[in-house]
Structure 1
Amino acid sequence: MAPQQKGKQGTKGAKQIVEENKTTLTFYRNMAIGCAAPALLLSFLVFEVTKTSVFMHILSLLILGSSYQFMAFMSQAKYSESGALLDSGNDLNMEGGIAENVKDLIILTSGTLLLALISNYFWLVLLLAPIRAGWMLWGSVIQPWLSQRNAQDDNPQVDEKKQKKMDRRMRRMR
């Protein structure tokens, strides 16, 4: 176990971010291929091929491919003509970033592909992705917007009371 670091976490250099992004992309590419290939082979060679299984496998492959391409696009580094690093791209290993959610989606889809070999009911696990997206949308956009709107509706009454109080004080001062 690594010792606990005291104080602020050190910043990463641009070259370190590029290298870590490459290893992260390689890991998640290997995970996606390592789960999709055996799942496809086993399900189509050993098990019965149905419309549902074909559709769900195509959907899973689209999710895996688009997620990987999105991460690759996010982390694309920019170099000058002389080969110097201009921009390291987004850090895929940053906590709380969108890449973290995309990595979770790859893990969820890969696990679902393997679990679907046991039973077709495991395809329902993929419904966790839109449920999580809705939950995140509620927590970060909708609920704050509604509570801000309610707070604005309550404030004019308070402001009117404060205004009346200020008017009374001003009358006393005269």
Structure 2
Amino acid sequence: MFAPKTGKQGTKGDKLIYEENVKTIAFYQKWVIVSTVLNLLVCVLPLFHCSLWDYFWCVFLTCCNLGAWCFMRYVGKPTLNPDGSLVHSGADINSPGSLGDQMKDVVITTSVVQTISCLFSNYLVILWTFIPGRAFYLLWVYIIHPYITSGSGTEGQQDNEGIDPKKQKKQRMKVVRN
């Protein structure tokens, strides 16, 4: 019925970013609370026989969950005037590909792993290894690989990349003469 919009996407205002960040942080706070309380209940109730490893994973995953949530809250922290008006909304947590978006993935993955590992089997904690794997992948794609591949040639080679072969030959002859 309606054609999709083409061209640039409009930017969000600071107030809209602030409101979305508050809602997002509150939503993920509930994720952290529910998964942590469920995990602690399973560890504390006498119905379940928990080993030292169960307690270790409970504490470890709770710390990871809280750390990711606190970092997400820190990234989206707004700056307010003393009168309460908004100066800066903080980073947009809901922006695709942003650091806040990555932290949302960490909270979701950790909460799911925490819940299923406490209910079913501690061997499911192995699923949490996807997080460091994803972190390494992002580090490789956005930082390490571009750093390694950029500037690999000399200045003359970089300048000649976009020039046709005849001009390259002329430039080489000119360099040889001088």
TM-score in same-fold range (> 0.5): yes
- Aligned with 2:152: secondary structure? helix
Q: Which residue of 2 aligns with 1:132?
A: 134
Tell me which of 165, 168, 172 is aligned to 2:173.
165
Q: 1:106 to 1:162 in 2, by over 3 A?
A: farther
RMSD: 2.8
Q: Distance in 1 between matches of 2:13 and 2:50?
A: 50
**Aligned AA for 2:174?**
M
**Aligned AA for 1:47?**
F
- Aligned with 1:10: secondary structure? coil
Q: 1:12 to 1:167 in 2, by over 3 A?
A: closer
Q: Distance in 1 between matches of 2:114 and 2:19?
A: 29
Give 1:145 deviation, angstroms. 2.1
| Aligned 8 A contact 2:21 2:92 in 1 | yes
Give 1:98 deviation, angstroms. 0.4
Q: Distance in 1 between matches of 2:137 and 2:121?
A: 27
Q: Which residue of 1 aligns with 2:11?
A: 11
| Aligned 8 A contact 2:79 2:86 in 1 | yes
Question: What are the equivalent positions in structure 2 for 1:64-143 lying under 5 Å apart?
Answer: 64-116=65-117, 117-143=119-145
> Is 1:37 aligned with 2:37?
yes
- Aligned with 1:92: secondary structure? coil
Give 1:152 deviation, angstroms. 4.1
Q: Structure 2: which 5+ runs fail to align?
A: 162-167
Q: Distance in 1 between matches of 2:73 and 2:44?
A: 30
- Aligned with 2:87: secondary structure? strand
TM-score by length of 1: 0.84
Q: 1:161 to 1:8 in 2, by over 3 A?
A: closer
Q: 1:34 to 1:82 in 2, by over 3 A?
A: same
Q: Distance in 2 between matches of 1:34 and 1:3?
A: 42
CA deviations 1:57-116 (Å, max 9, x no partner) are 111111111111111111111111222211111111111100111000000100101110
Deviation beyond 4 Å, 4+ runs, structure 1: 158-163
- Counting helix residues as a fraction of each chain, which structure ranks higher? 1
Percent of matched pairs sharing the same residue:
29
State the number of aligned residues: 168
Q: Distance in 1 between matches of 2:149 and 2:82?
A: 51
Q: Distance in 2 between matches of 1:32 and 1:68?
A: 8
Q: Structure 1: which 5+ runs fail to align?
A: none
Deviates more, 1:48-57 or 1:145-154: 145-154
Q: Which residue of 1 aligns with 2:165?
A: none
TM-score by length of 2: 0.82
- Aligned with 1:86: secondary structure? strand
| Aligned 8 A contact 2:43 2:55 in 1 | no
Q: 1:92 to 1:34 in 2, by over 3 A?
A: same
